[in-house]
Amino acid sequence: MNHDMFESSPAAYAYPLLIKHLLHTPLAHAVDQEIVYRGETRLTYRAMRERLARLANGLSRHGASMGTTVAVIDWDSHRYLECYFAIPMMGAVLQTVNVRLSPAEIAYTINHAGAQILLLHTDFLPVIESIRDQLETVRTFIWIDDAGSEASAHTIPFADEYERMLAASEPAYDFPDFDENTRATTFYTTGTTGLPKGVYFSHRQLVLHTITGMAALASPVSGQRFHRGDVYMPITPMFHVHAWGMPYIATVLGVKQVYPGRYLPERLLALVRDEGVTFSHCVGTIMHMLLGCGDAKSIDLSRWKVVIGGGALPHGLARAALERGIDIFAGYGMSETCPLLTLAQLKPGSETLDLDEQVELRCKTGLPLPLVDLHIVDEEGIDAVHDGRASGEVVVRTPWLTQGYLKDAEASAQLWDGGYLHTQDVANIDPNGYLQITDRIKDVIKSGGEWVSSLEIESLISLHPAVSEVAVIGIKDEKWGERPVALVVLKPQAAAPASADDIRNHVLAFSETGRISKYAVPQIVKIVDQLDKTSVGKLNKKRLREQFAVTPEGKATS
């Protein structure tokens, strides 16, 4: 506190919800706690405080001030964490650039956001070099020279280098108070069609997301928790929806944080082992890959808790992870929602359920976080009953949803309708309150007058031991309207090979027990080599439907 704290101000009691206030707890409780980068660089929260001030002073020197957009391209690192705090704390806007977009799309998002400063890791020099002429707003490039990365030949006129900039800057900075509705972050969503769309979040929204997410993640009786004794490592990129907001939560908890750099399976597993990582989050595909990695067999994963998001958690994957001792469970959210909306935590008393029952609950979409006002509604906005069968579109209201899409009034108006954000996800809610997403609205299959959940059928097929990946899509059918078709990638190393008929019989068995309706059994199961994905690794069902469109005889063409 500095000397002039006793000067009076007009509203002495005012306390705007600013990101800087998330630092009070770690700086009071946990200044000596570690922040680790790739097992090589080790800092403390005390050091981070000083580095935030140096970063702010350095960026100020390069022209950043209130409202400046500063774009960052880096692997997951302590530097990125510093940008999560220092850039918004200055009143500037952090743009987390999605490096999985095409170079042209990356240029589009940087221009569209109007970023003036770009922090750039060595590994992405070729990409930026290739689009440099297209960048209309960036006037300052700052190099992130990461030990071990080799710079390719380039012509980018770097004004500074990250560590040199920090070393040359003062270790104190008076982060100001300002309106809590000030924009803090922006990034771009990707769809299967059209240009990327920008979403954005304010300080107030991020603070509320952090504290509420922390409350929800901490409060179960035992498992599926994120608590002060954990060691945190993200495996969802930090450019993607604030790495689900978890780095902010980890910081308030004051836990040891481990940033893995680029996601190499062997390195991730080694960090889990060597740094004692106990809490992570990733998409199902990554967990699938990690469990299949040779190194995984020799590492004790029984203290590891992992939230799976970015798509449904398949039953087969949940079972495989649980059998390895991993406390796996689903979470749900999207770029537009900051992202956390629900977590598939077990309720008190459910800890004693057997494995099958646990798999069921952990693969549910989950229970809403506090302050999340969530409904499943029909087209007139009428709530569906919560019987685990009736479904409707998920619409939601929380204090941390994007206000709209950046400079896109039309898309914003479609997103927000009647005070609720429309997710375009179709779901049911069971009598215990668990949400279960069954489809995207545009992927819904209607067969024989009944809605078929492609996600449920995919999850059931994933339980077959020979199946590696699966997509279920609807194809037109004269008699039934639509029929489900399953596209299956088999495991190359499966113990026993499987035929399309084997897979179909596997699903048929669930129909015979009444678990699913007979309309839900895929008419056609097709073994394929690979499935088309979007830039963020999700199934591109639009493309798949085009590829596997049916002939008039009802046979898939591809």
* Identity of the residue, 382 or 496, whose beta carbon is nearer to a copy of itself in the bound complex: 382
451 is catalytic: yes
Active-site residue, from 297, 442, 446, 555: 446
**Least Cβ distance, residue 345 to a copy of itself (angstroms):** 8
Residues in CB range of 454: below 8 A, 6 or more apart: 438, 439, 443, 444, 445, 471, 472, 473, 474, 484, 541
Shortest distance in whole angstroms from residue 223 CB to a copy of itself: 11
Q: Specify the residue for token string 């113990």.
A: 495
Nearest approach in angstroms of CB 546 to a copy of itself is 32
CA atoms lying within 13 Å on the CB side of residue 259 = 24
Using the minimum distance from each CB to a copy of itself, give the nearer residue, 159 or 390: 390
Of 353 and 556, nearer to a copy of itself (C-beta) is 353
Please report where in the chains the tokens 């390719």 appear, as a residue.
Answer: 152
Give the shortest CB-350-to-a copy of itself separation in angstroms: 10
Whether 192 is a known active-site residue: answer: no
- If DSSP codes are grouped into helix, strand and coil, which group holds residue 44? strand
Active site residue 189: yes
Q: Burial level of 253, CB count in 10 A (0-12/13-18/19+)?
A: buried
Q: Cβ 33 to a copy of itself, closest distance in Å?
A: 10
| Least distance (Å) between residue 145 CB and a copy of itself | 35
Residues 6+ apart with CB under 8 A from 101: 109, 188, 190, 196, 535
Query: Which tokens go with 49?
Result: 């405080």
List, in order, residues 6 or more apart from 242 with CB less than 8 Å away: 84, 96, 185, 201, 206, 248, 338, 339
Q: Which is nearer to a copy of itself, 339 or 368 (CB)?
A: 368
| 7 a catalytic residue | no
Cα separation, 55 vs 50, whole angstroms = 9
Angle between helices 265-275 and 284-292 (to 10 degrees): 80
Instruction: Give the distance from CA 315 to its chain's centroid.
Output: 20
Catalytic option among 96, 140, 189, 423: 189
The CA distances from residue 402 to 208, 298, 319, in Å, are 13, 43, 35
Q: Which is nearer to a copy of itself, 68 or 212 (CB)?
A: 212
Q: Between residues 316 and 368, which has the closer beta carbon with respect to a copy of itself?
A: 368
Q: How far apart are the first and last CA of the chain?
A: 68
Secondary structure element (H or E) that encloses residue 124, with its range: none
Shortest Cβ 398–a copy of itself spacing (Å): 6
Q: Which is nearer to a copy of itself, 9 or 155 (CB)?
A: 9
Kindly name the residue from 336, 456, 458, 469 that is annotated as catalytic: 336
Site residues for a copy of itself per CB under 8 A: 1-9, 12-13, 15, 17, 21-22, 24-25, 28-31, 207-208, 211-212, 214-215, 218-221, 227-229, 252-253, 347-349, 367-375, 377, 380-383, 395, 397-399, 401-404, 416-421, 432-433
Q: Would you please indicate which residues are annotated as catalytic (active-site) residues?
A: 189, 336, 446, 451
